[in-house]
Structure 1
Amino acid sequence: MMDVKEVFDSLARQEGPPSTANVNRAMAAGRALRRRRRAAVAATSAVGVAAAVLVAWPVHPWPERQNSVVAAVPTAPSPTVTITVAPRPVYKGFAELKKKYPPKGKIASVPPLLMWVSDGPRKGELFLCESGPNGGSCSGFPPLTKEFARIQGKLRGKAVWFGIAKDDVHGVTAVTKDGRRLPANLARDVGPGLGLWAIEYLSGTDVLRLVVSDAKGKTLQKIAV
Structure 2
Amino acid sequence: MLARDVPALTDIELARRIGLRDPAAVRWMTTRNNQRLFRTAWSILGNRAEAEDAVQSGYVRAFAAIGSFAGQSSLDTWLTRIVINEALGRARAARRRRARLDADSITDLDAYRERLMNGSIEPAAPDASLAIKQMRAMLEAAITRLPGEFRTVFVMRDVEGMSVEEVAGALDIPPGTVKTRLHRARRRLRDLLAPDLRASLVGAFPFAGEHCATLTERVVALLCEAPDG
Q: TM-score by structure 2 length?
A: 0.20
Task: Between the two structures, name the one with larger relative contact order (CA 8 Å, sep ≥ 6).
Answer: 2
Larger Rg: 1
Higher helix share: 2
Higher strand share: 1
